[in-house]
Amino acid sequence: MLAAIGSLSVLGLILGAVLGLASRYLRVEGNPLTAQALALLPGSQCGQCGFVGCGQAAEALTAGTAPPTVCPPGGRAVAEALASLLGKTVDLAGVAEKAPTVAHINENLCVGCTKCFKRCPTDAIMGANNMIHSVFADACIGCEKCFEVCPTECIEMRPIAATLQTWFWPNPATVTA
Amino acid sequence: MKLFKIRGGVHPEDRKHLAANQAIEDLPLAPLLHVPLQQHIGNPATPAVRRGQRVAKGELIGAAQGPMSAPVHAPTSGRIMGIGSFPAHHASGLSVRTITLQPDGEDRWLEGLEGVPDPFALTPEDVAARVAAAGIVGMGGATFPSAVKLNLRTKYSLHTLVINGAECEPYLTCDDRLMREHAAGVLDGARIMAHALGVSRIIIGIENNKPQAQDAMTGVAAPYPEIRVAHLPMRFPMGSEKHLVQTLTGLETPARGLTADIGIVVHNPATAFAVHQALRQGRPLVARLVTVSGAAINRPRNLRVPLGTPVQHLIDHCGGFREDPAKLVSGGPMMGQPLPSTRVPIVKGSNGVLALTATEINAGPSSPCIRCGSCVDACPCGLLPLNMAAHARAGDLEGTVRLGLMDCIGCGSCSFVCPSHIPLVQFFNYAKGEMAARGRAKQKQTETRRLVEGRAERMEAIQRAKREAMAARKRDTAKPAAAAEA
């Protein structure tokens, strides 16, 4: 009786110690793909994908619950990079349709409440109390966070207009088809 | 002079006879000039005038922004009508910021414009600064700010200046006429540029279909043993600077490199002439030579056009259209771009306006590739256009890049020879644009990450400072209380 209790206790202690050591030295720090996917995402935590931030989106991507086209501000380039990372084929038709936008502040309506620039994840809005705010279009990622909070609805999301520097010829295959 | 062979190339019918024998004419002033602030590669100029202001010919109306830019000057004297958006001289039909000038008809030069008596006494930096201030850009069509190119000596060890008088595009004759009629000016400009570059050897390359230009340049270059005129064989794209340099020296420019990597800088004769005028007379670049040609034009001409003149004004001066043109092209027929309308102004890079008839453009419906390999033989860069286009068509742009898309000069020789009328070069133009767009997206992404991290750090610092302040306040309030108790 005593021998049985003793041997089982010793066995339990030894196996517990082994498991304890194994959990310490053989630990896998999450899915390595998640870290790589996270590196590809913009990292602005804008939440347009429906997840709380880029980390959660990266986890969903590697778990297979989110498609590679999950990131709207990343656009085509990010979708393609994610697809090649995850070894998935991706239908880019839907990505190209949604033109990227940037916020624009209607200066006649802005009351200088500073709500928008506190929300901006990329510091793309300049302003101060009771001063008209303004958007740096180059830094804006079109996440619409400011758009949602503006009390006077003076922010509009405008599509990014092509310039002579960014315009290029369309694909001849789609033009003739 | 010993010449070397280049690979590929095509022999389009040159059709230069249409305009080659027309002496340069001054185009009368248009009722309104639309001078775009972006006529060059780099940052657009910023307006330096107000609406309603009177300006003299050659007065600065747009100031350069940063080193990679070029100023814009008033092409004639008159009144500034406005600064706004106007259709650009560009295939996209997009608008750019443009200054509209109403000429007063006096064509009065700005007072105080004076040249340098001896440009060779100036330091190379001074010459480059004067070239920059005159708004001179590469006038072969690339519109790269010339002063930036003249400053290449600081980064590369240079030995030769090549003047690119090949003018290998069919129809275009404006460089030909310039070299015939202003040979001395072109040569002087070339010598000033060589001085600025710190090189002594100058080679002027001219194709054999321009014997008069060759003779004129040889004549004026006779007193200078270090200047040679090379008689180039007729072949497109001889005027591509990398291929021209290879023909003249046998040296191949490294892939995606500059000709400066092998010690050579290439400039256009029109640029040389503009440098001559800027240094000798102090005159900025306010006009350029334009060939108006094509079978649909009544009277093909070589015109000296004030910048900003609407294309329609040139066409009217040339007697209008003989028949409705099937295509309006800016530049040559091989590499030129279609013009969206005739309202657009002439800019620093426009060397030709061609109105082509249906028989001239030889368009046909595109049929499948028969893998004849004609495009491979024609490609001057040694690429496989048929395979590159197949990848681009399938949407595999990385595959196209692997096959050498970035080495493609977009000369259009492949499309020219293709018996199936496959839009090969159009595929490459699209692929290059799409790759550039992806590069910009990637750049924006890294920039976004930097901004987000910066903001997170700042927020963290603010929080920390608040906590510390709070702790300090607590200590301060606790201390007097303890002191009072004791």
Q: Select from A78, A122, A172 the Cβ nearest to the Cβ of B430.
A: A172
Find the closest chain A residue to B432 by CA distance: A168
Interface test with B, best of A98, A164, A165, A166 (most B CBs within 10 A): A164
Kindly tell me the burial class for residue B172, based on how many C-beta atoms sit within 10 Å of its own C-beta (0-12, 13-18, 19 or more).
Answer: buried
| A32-86: CATH number | 1.10.15.40
Q: What is the pLDDT, as a whole number, of residue A163?
A: 86
Interface test with A, best of B420, B444, B462 (most A CBs within 10 A): B444
Overall number of domains in chain B: 2
CB B161 within 8 Å of CB B201: yes
Size of interface A-B (CB pairs under 8 A): 84
Q: What is the pLDDT, as a whole number, of residue A38?
A: 85
Average pLDDT over every residue of A41-59: 83
Show the beta-strand stretches assigned E in B140-263.
160-165, 201-207, 227-232
β partners of residue B413: none
Q: How far is B348 from chain A (nearest CA, A)?
A: 15
- Are A123 and B454 an interchain contact pair (Cβ–Cβ within 8 Å)? yes
What predicted TM-score, i.e. pTM, was given to this entire model?
0.85
Kindly tell me the burial class for residue B156, based on how many C-beta atoms sit within 10 Å of its own C-beta (0-12, 13-18, 19 or more).
Answer: middle
Q: How far is A61 from chain B (nearest CA, A)?
A: 19
Count of other CB atoms within 10 angstroms of residue A137: 14
Identify whether B87 is part of a domain: no
Interface test with B, best of A169, A174, A175, A176 (most B CBs within 10 A): A169
Q: What's the rounded Cα separation, in Å, for the pair A92 and B62?
A: 42
Average pLDDT over every residue of A62-86: 82
Q: Which domain does B423 fall in, by range?
A: 367-486
For residue A176, pLDDT over 60 is answered with: no
Q: Select from A43, A76, A173 the Cβ nearest to the Cβ of B393.
A: A173
Q: How far is B180 from chain A (nearest CA, A)?
A: 35
List the CATH number of the domain containing B141: 3.40.50.11540
Residues B274, B147 share a domain: yes
Q: Select from B88, B451, B454 the Cβ nearest to the Cβ of A164.
A: B88
Report helix, strand or coil for B143.
Answer: coil
Contacts of B40 in chain A (CB under 8 A): none
Q: How far is B475 from chain A (nearest CA, A)?
A: 31
- Are A162 and B92 an interchain contact pair (Cβ–Cβ within 8 Å)? yes
Kindly tell me the burial class for residue B178, based on how many C-beta atoms sit within 10 Å of its own C-beta (0-12, 13-18, 19 or more).
Answer: buried
Residue-wise pLDDT tens for chain B (486 aa)?
889 999 899 999 989 999 999 999 999 999 999 999 999 999 999 999 999 999 999 999 999 998 899 999 999 999 999 999 999 999 998 999 999 999 999 999 999 888 898 999 999 999 999 999 999 999 988 899 999 999 988 899 999 999 999 999 999 999 999 999 999 999 999 999 999 999 999 999 999 999 999 999 999 999 999 999 999 999 999 999 999 999 999 999 998 899 999 999 999 999 999 999 999 999 999 999 999 999 999 999 999 999 999 999 999 999 999 999 999 999 999 999 999 999 999 999 999 999 999 988 877 788 999 999 999 999 999 999 999 999 999 888 999 999 999 999 999 999 999 999 999 999 999 999 999 988 888 888 888 888 888 998 999 999 999 999 999 999 888 877 677 666
Phi/psi-derived region of residue B171, left when phi > 0, alpha when psi is between -120 and 50, beta in every other case = left
Kindly tell me the burial class for residue B406, based on how many C-beta atoms sit within 10 Å of its own C-beta (0-12, 13-18, 19 or more).
Answer: exposed
Contacts of A160 in chain B (CB under 8 A): none
Last residue of a domain, one of B243, B267, B287: B287
For residue A103, pLDDT over 50 is answered with: yes
Q: Select from A73, A169, A176 the Cβ nearest to the Cβ of B430.
A: A169
β partners of residue B310: B345
Contacts of A73 in chain B (CB under 8 A): 448
Longest dimension (CA), chain B: 110
Contacts of B451 in chain A (CB under 8 A): 44, 121-124, 139
Find the closest chain A residue to B398 by CA distance: A80
Residue ranges matching CATH 3.30.70.20 in chain A: 101-159
For residue A85, pLDDT over 90 is answered with: no
- Are B91 and A75 an interchain contact pair (Cβ–Cβ within 8 Å)? no
List the CATH number of the domain containing B425: 1.10.1060
Q: What is the pLDDT, as a whole number, of residue B58?
A: 95
Q: What is the pLDDT, as a whole number, of residue B67?
A: 87
| Residue B88, C-beta contacts closer than 8 angstroms, at least 6 positions apart | A164, B36, B38, B94, B95, B96, B98, B344
Looking at domain A101-159, its CATH architecture is: 2-Layer Sandwich (3.30)
Q: What is the pLDDT, as a whole number, of residue B65?
A: 92
Q: What's the rounded Cα separation, in Å, for the pair B6 and B3?
A: 10
CB B265 within 8 Å of CB B197: yes
Q: Is A121 on the interface with B (CB under 8 A)?
A: yes
Q: What is the pLDDT, as a whole number, of residue A177?
A: 46
Residues B269, B375 share a domain: no
Last residue of a domain, one of B231, B266, B287: B287
Average pLDDT over every residue of A152-161: 89
Identify whether B258 is part of a domain: yes
Q: Is A3 on the interface with B (CB under 8 A)?
A: no
Q: What is the pLDDT, as a whole number, of residue B156?
A: 92
- Are B448 and A139 an interchain contact pair (Cβ–Cβ within 8 Å)? yes
Last residue of a domain, one of B222, B256, B287: B287
Q: What is the pLDDT, as a whole number, of residue B335?
A: 93
Identify whether B348 is part of a domain: no
Q: What's the rounded Cα separation, in Å, for the pair B387 and B371?
A: 9
Q: How far is B425 from chain A (nearest CA, A)?
A: 10
Q: Is B281 on the interface with A (CB under 8 A)?
A: no
ipTM of the complex: 0.79
pLDDT tens-digit series, residues A3-20: 999 999 999 999 999 999
Number of H helices, E strands in chain A: 8, 4
For residue A97, pLDDT over 70 is answered with: no
| Residue B5, C-beta contacts closer than 8 angstroms, at least 6 positions apart | B247
- Are A77 and B445 an interchain contact pair (Cβ–Cβ within 8 Å)? yes
Count of other CB atoms within 10 angstroms of residue B484: 7
Report helix, strand or coil for B350.
Answer: coil
Q: Is A77 on the interface with B (CB under 8 A)?
A: yes
